[in-house]
Structure 1
Amino acid sequence: MKAAVLRNTPGKVTIEDVSIDKPQQREVLIRTSAAGVCHSDLHYAEGHFPTRLPTVLGHESAGIVEEVGPGVTHVKPGDHVVSCLSVYCGTCEYCLSGRLVLCRKRGLRRGRGGPQRLSDGDGGAMWQFLDLSSFGEQMLVHENALAVVNPEMPLDRASLLGCAVTTGLGAVFHTAAVSPGESVAIIGCGGVGLNAVQGASIAGAARIIAVDPIPSKREMALLFGATDVVDPADGDPVAQIQELTGGGVDHAIEAIGLKPTTEQAFAMLRIGGTATIVGMIPMGVKIEVPGIDFMSEKRIQGSLMGSNRFQVDIPRYVDLYLKGRLKLDELVSGTIRLDQINDAFDQIRRGEVARNVVVFD
């Protein structure tokens, strides 16, 4: 199969012929239909986070099941599925206590000493990226990485549910638990941030303030349900939000992954407010907040993939989309070929897009 391979970091992907194994115990072979190009893929390609090389990048995808291995009970050939990197084992303490997104993934990967799911043309091991490797014409994954979806759902739209939508909506619904009538500020209006905006709207937030320096993204935030937008170029965004709200917001959601914006998220809270950090802060970066603010019961917390329960969440998001209540069409900046991924990464660097989607023939 053709796949986008990363061999060096920082580096660009190359389109290569990659071999994919037959499904073994509880593994599923999928014909990939579409894969979103996420900023997280770029973080790894630039070397901000470690991954074993060479690898096939990609982690936000949808496709159709072609073949299943022994012991698979969750899916069958012909099923339309969305993949999610929150693959879970179902037996560790986190799974058993209902926090599947924190699973330690015991026994879900092939041992490093044996044949891997992917290999190069010479038979050398190619490491799977985030248990998925979506930038390939096929995927071989554990069945617990998949959610079955309504076949009426367009698969190019469905692919976005595997990361951007699940992370943004989940940060609002699950991690922050936004209640009707509360105020929410979202810092960063890329794919994840825009979904946090529409999640806050669906949750019934009374005031939704979107913060982004790019005019087109502020316009999209209004389309997705923001009541106000803030341009950091107009002055300190914390001061702007405090003026808009008369003292701060109940919830601030950071969807960029930078030290300054994370600290701003905490600073723009009202008394008793909560900052939820969704963005991927680079390794080694430390966050500083005023200790005295904890005496006002302000809180700061992380959110991994929106604290999702993806096999429950994703079918529900499909229903919302099919009923016209969830915006996905507007999220797609463009559809591209596999060999255009490096160009898509450049667009992400320039802040030009919400989501490009690789569509496979």
Structure 2
Amino acid sequence: MTLTTKGALLWEPGTKSGWSVEEIELDPPKRGEVLLKLAASGLCHSDAHLDTGDIPLPFAPVLGGHEGAGVVQEVGPEVHDLQPGDHVVTTFLPSCGTCRWCSSGMGSMCDVGAGVLGGKAPDGTNRIHSGGKPVGAMSFLGTFSPYVVAPITGVIKIDKDIPLDKAALIGCGVPTGWGSAVHAAGTEVGDTVVVVGTGGVGVNAVQGARLAGASTIVAVDPVAFKREMAEELGATHSASSLEEATELVRGLTVGVMADRVILTAGVGYGNLVGPCGFLTRKGGTLVITSAAPALQGQVDLNLLDFVMSGKRLQGSLYGSCNARVDVPKLIELYRRGDLELDRLVTRTYALEEINQGFADMDAGRNIRGVILFD
């Protein structure tokens, strides 16, 4: 039976028109799907990119949100590993477990996940409607609603002792940042790591670098409160600009520069890459995790320096994580007290306050804003 609820819709992606909270209808779960009642949804910059047009959408309207956690209410046909009452985290990128990429341990490259911005469910239809019109769902999910019909490839079961409002962050921002340091950058014990941009993703790159054993971690952000939070969570030094960071790292390393540099700024503009390249030592790795505007075709990078110094440029989607393995790992790190989640939530919002939440993000007031549902 169709469920009537509410959700935050984007009717004109790319126009900065903001989100409209209104009534929506959800179809019941079909084969391989579950109905979730969410406790919380994170406000991620990826959803803001839909509003600004940095990430183009072929479908509108769209129900935003992809970083959530909740409880299974109903399961569709051929769902065997989940049942009502189970607690789950939604994942930004689903993993089918059987395609070439999943079978190779590269779950973030899953063939099913390649369609998350298409506006439809994996079977090519829509579960969401508003005023009789089909509505797309961000990442096959749409967590800007208290109820979600999600494919089982996009949810991970977790233990019931983990607070759902904190577990929601493990849907995107935490693994994206943590994995950027641990997987994509390959941080090793004793490394010097620079994280450029320490918001909801970058601060977790700091945590990842710390957990991987980096001895020096430099957090770069123009916002003082973000630098302070990064230092509380593992950064040994901070800088307010790339210029300041370059001089700082040169002094700390006696001119060698950083083993790993991770770009996690809110928007990955091409002019940020060159300075990050100069921060990277000979033979070092520069990781780009930031989402760039879709039409960003030019990058400022000194190719002679990069080639002659044997540096590596590494793109990273979802922190190069394998959600089926890494989400339980992150949950266990949180349970042991090694991974901070609670303090990442700067402010919580009602769904009707979603536009204020994104305004706070743009103004640099939040590490992570979180929508709480009843």
Q: Could you say which TM-score interval applies, normalised by the shorter chain?
A: over 0.9
The residue identity in structure 1 corresponding to 2:146 is E
CA distance in 2, matches of 1:110, 1:183: 42
CA distance in 2, matches of 1:277, 1:42: 19
The aligned counterpart of 2:269 is 258
Mapped contact 1:150–1:315 kept (Cα < 8 A): no
The residue identity in structure 2 corresponding to 1:6 is L
The aligned counterpart of 2:312 is 299
The residue identity in structure 2 corresponding to 1:212 is D
CA distance in 2, matches of 1:209, 1:242: 12
Find out whether 1:229 has 2:238 as its counterpart: yes
Output aligned runs, 1:125-140, within 5 Å. 125-140=134-149
Find out whether 1:279 has 2:282 as its counterpart: no
The residue identity in structure 1 corresponding to 2:9 is V
Report the CA distance between 1:125 and its aligned residue. Answer: 0.5
Mapped contact 2:95–2:323 kept (Cα < 8 A): no
Mapped contact 2:263–2:287 kept (Cα < 8 A): yes
After superposition, give the CA deviation of every residue in 1:42-87 in whole Å (9 maximum; x if it has no partner).
1111111112210111110000000111111232111100000211
After superposition, give the CA deviation of every residue in 1:26-53 in whole Å (9 maximum; x if it has no partner).
0111001100001111111111111221
CA distance in 1, matches of 2:136, 2:210: 39
CA distance in 2, matches of 1:179, 1:18: 48
CA distance in 2, matches of 1:316, 1:93: 23
Find out whether 1:8 has 2:12 as its counterpart: yes
Mapped contact 1:187–1:261 kept (Cα < 8 A): no
Mapped contact 2:35–2:75 kept (Cα < 8 A): yes
1:23/1:335 CA distance change after superposition, 3 Å? same
CA distance in 2, matches of 1:192, 1:319: 19
SS of the residue corresponding to residue 191 of structure 1 reads: coil
Mapped contact 2:238–2:245 kept (Cα < 8 A): no
SS of the residue corresponding to residue 18 of structure 1 reads: strand
Report the CA distance between 1:310 and its aligned residue. Answer: 1.0
The aligned counterpart of 1:243 is 251
Output aligned runs, 1:98-117, within 5 Å. 98-105=105-112, 109-112=121-124, 114=125, 116-117=126-127
User: Structure 1 residue aligned with 2:155, among 124, 142, 146?
Assistant: 146
CA distance in 1, matches of 2:277, 2:354: 35
CA distance in 2, matches of 1:295, 1:74: 51
After superposition, give the CA deviation of every residue in 1:81-131 in whole Å (9 maximum; x if it has no partner).
00002112333222222211111218993554x5x11011x3210011121
SS of the residue corresponding to residue 170 of structure 1 reads: helix
Between 101-110 and 181-190, report the one with greater CA deviation. Answer: 101-110
Mapped contact 1:32–1:61 kept (Cα < 8 A): yes
Output aligned runs, 1:31-110, within 5 Å. 31-51=37-57, 52-105=59-112, 109-110=121-122
CA distance in 1, matches of 2:272, 2:138: 28
CA distance in 2, matches of 1:74, 1:135: 25
CA distance in 2, matches of 1:258, 1:242: 24
Between 81-90 and 101-110, report the one with greater CA deviation. Answer: 101-110
Report the CA distance between 1:236 and its aligned residue. Answer: 4.5
The aligned counterpart of 1:26 is 32
The residue identity in structure 1 corresponding to 2:64 is L
The residue identity in structure 2 corresponding to 1:271 is K
Mapped contact 2:177–2:203 kept (Cα < 8 A): yes
The residue identity in structure 2 corresponding to 1:85 is F
Between 101-110 and 294-303, report the one with greater CA deviation. Answer: 101-110
TM-score, normalising length: structure 2: 0.92
After superposition, give the CA deviation of every residue in 1:202-251 in whole Å (9 maximum; x if it has no partner).
11101100011111111101101001111218x44323322332221000
- Structure 2: 5+ residue runs without aligned partners? none
The aligned counterpart of 1:119 is 129
SS of the residue corresponding to residue 342 of structure 1 reads: helix
SS of the residue corresponding to residue 161 of structure 2 reads: coil
User: Structure 2 residue aligned with 1:205, among 200, 214, 222?
Assistant: 214
SS of the residue corresponding to residue 160 of structure 1 reads: helix
Find out whether 1:310 has 2:310 as its counterpart: no
TM-score, normalising length: structure 1: 0.95
Q: Provide the aligned length of Structure 1 versus Structure 2.
A: 357
Report the CA distance between 1:150 and its aligned residue. Answer: 1.1
The residue identity in structure 2 corresponding to 1:333 is T
- Structure 1: 5+ residue runs without aligned partners? none
